[in-house]
Homo-oligomer: A and B are copies of this chain.
Amino acid sequence: MPKRTVFFVSDQTGVTAETMGHSLLTQFEGLEFKAVTLPFVATVEKAAEARERIDATAVAEGTPPIIFSTLIKDDLRDIVKDANGVFLDFFDAFLGPLEAALGVKSSHAAGRAHGMADLQSYTQRINATNFALSNDDGTQTRDYQQADVILVGVSRSGKTPTCLYMALQYGLYAANFPLTPEDLETVRLPGPLASHKAKLYGLTIRPERLQQIRHERRPNSSYASAQQVAFEVRQAEALFERFGIPFLDTTDTSVEELGSRIMQKTGIERRLRP
């Protein structure tokens, strides 16, 4: 079966339309889609171009494409709605019920969803990102006082991307500290961590997966050997248990889910609101 084309049309980046469309389409297992994002459709000309492109795709594929729209302005939406496609409109579906519930009319103003970054949240995000970078991989530990959370785990267990995601998405100050083979030999808590025990969160990973990841990085090294990897993971988990450090398995878990679960389990409050 040929792939059906799905358009994500937005007057902004298209990230909301993509998120929404992706969530829905994954409910249709076995079907494959060709995704096309049309961002910054913010003028009548751009909207007409989008409509033409959708129409051309309908002709070429012999079936109307799916359209996920987050266009907010009526004049632009009306143009794209006219295209030969299945038009699923985010604002159409929900603004009416929301207006009724809130007892006010919405502004129908374009470009608010991902619009201007206000200075405060921009600064928060930048500061959190800088914190994650300068406290990555145990490079420094003197700012742990400021940390919201300190992720601990063996090399390549997923600490860095999780910290960066928490910084960018939630504005949290997330540091990370690697457990070295020497630390693991003795199952002791490295010095810089001992005075911040309440902030520690462990990450673990299935040995086979860790081996695969390390092998890609340093093929056939002892660092990537089955024996070394099994030893490190076993000792890290023993260390988490000995010191009462909560931990998560990163093997099958996205950074989104890791970030969200860590916040939920620790009760850390996000610093950036959605």
Q: A residues 14-67 with Cβ under 8 Å of B?
A: 14-16, 18-29, 31, 35, 37, 39-40, 64, 66
On whether the beta carbons of A116 and B274 are closer than 8 Å, the reply is no
Q: Which residues on B sit within 8 Å (CB–CB) of A91?
A: 24, 27
CA distance A165 to B182 in the complex (A): 34
A273 beta carbon closer than 8 Å to chain B: yes
Inter-chain contact A125/B255, CB cutoff 8 Å: yes
Cβ < 8 Å to B, chain A residues 83-114: 86, 88, 90-91, 93-95, 97-98, 101-102, 104, 106-109, 112-114
Residues of B within 8 A of A161 (CB): 125-126, 129, 168
A160 at the interface (CB under 8 A from B): yes
Main secondary structure of the interface of A (DSSP, over half): helix
Stoichiometry, copies per complex: 2
Q: A93-B93, A104-B28 are in contact. Are A252 and B117 (CB under 8 A)?
A: yes
Spell out A's residues near B (CB within 8 Å): 4, 8, 12-16, 18-29, 31, 35, 37, 39-40, 64, 66, 70, 72, 86, 88, 90-91, 93-95, 97-98, 101-102, 104, 106-109, 112-117, 119, 122-123, 125-126, 129-130, 133, 136, 158, 160-161, 164-165, 168-169, 209, 212-213, 216, 252-257, 259-261, 264, 273-274
